[in-house]
Chain A
Amino acid sequence: MSRRIDYNRIQDNLFRIVGIGCTLFGLLMLGFFLYSVISEGWPRLSAQFFTSLPSRKPEEAGILIPLFGTIWVMVLTSLISIPLGVASGIYLEEYGKKNRLASLIEINITNLAGVPSIIYGLLALEIFVRILGLGKSLLSGSLTLALLILPIIIVATREALKAVPKTIREASYALGATKWQTTWFQILPASAGGIVTGVILAISRAIGETAPLIVIGAMLYITTLPSSPMDDFSVLPIQIFNWLSRPQKGFIINATAAIIVLLAITFILNGIAIYLRNRWQKKVKW
């Protein structure tokens, strides 16, 4: 009898080691990535790197154009996706509860969230680039990414709206406010923290996207800054992809430096989102 219990205990403890090991594996891999990227790319970071145009000589090449492209894309995509996404979320959560159309839209959104990003690229290639004739412009790229992250924003908005207690709504109606007045003046401000968090996470996802932009033809080789939404553009992930495909060591180093910049932007955005989420959760004590 005691032999069996000992065996079980050993098994139990062994698994604890396996469990810790696996958890640490994930963390170790993360640490290892970051280390390999930072150690190789950090020395390359300099004012010259940020302000230079592309060049055939790796030491002279820089990320000015793709960095600007990323910022432009970030702004345009936000402008398109935030109003659309928040409005959709409000409709589904506040207005469309008993609606058959609403439940169809809901299923639709869940499916869209699982569609590979490259398919959005094909959609954009045919419709934005060819049929609407927008070409491989910033506008096409931003529209594509906006559609891609729309499900994320909608879901985040809905979650945030759901968290607002019914009592707020009821109190507002009791005072004679209309549905829209309630939504605009009471619910939205109350859920703003959650919505903003979701939006920032969605944007952070968008700026890391490469595949759909390659499909619509975002150029790997432009030499000028975009000055309007109809211009050709490039973004950081595409520049990284391009430099990675070159065998010269100098370009690989450039790629790692650009990766540091991209990761920095991603982490800062995510950090802001998490900070906001924590602050909002603490503040809102119903």
Chain B
Amino acid sequence: MKRTIPLLLAMSAGFVMIVAFFIPATLTWGEKVSIWFDILASIAFILGGGNLLKVQLKKISDKTAGWGYSVITVVAFLVMLFVGLTKFGVNPNPAFPAHGHWAGQYNEIGSPFWWLYEYMFKPLQATIFAMLAFYVASAAFRAFRAKNFEAILLLVTAFIILLGRTAAGVFLTDFISADSGFQGLRLENFTGYIMDVFNTAGNRAIMIGIALGTASVSLKILLGVDRSYLGSGEE
């Protein structure tokens, strides 16, 4: 029973979505199923927040390695939650004076929530994203080896693209006239050709495979063949 009801729910919701796609009279059924998911996901935020606090507080109380980071996590979580939920420091909305600051925008420019977002969250987000540049360099040094013919092709292509996307590429093949029949060999044009043709073709091939795989997995789940999301795959 514990697994049968969720299985039946998943099967019926899935088939409703498929049928709703083709039968006009049932179009709104699919939307309702999507809305149920949105409601579940919203309620799950509370579950996640509670779990976050529980896990991090346990790390603090057990003084496991790195418990200081858990302190920072808990403090940041609680501060943002308080500032956001209480609309701390937000100006009242002149259209609704009776409601005080509750009718104001929680992310009003100048408010503490906005300040934390602008000057703490956004720089941190940009910092982590910027680390990619360093990791790309170290990955290139460590991993790009000409072990076989395909790898050599890949490396040559990488060189063409890397140089073609900069002024160096334009400079190196500038002697080829832009009007000549060989203008396609100019690095900047060749780069565009590689991206348009080879890269797009490869991408599409992978995407076709992914689409078929997605359909197959979805069907297995709808038919109850794959029940691992419920727990064990064995009866």
> Do they bind each other?
no
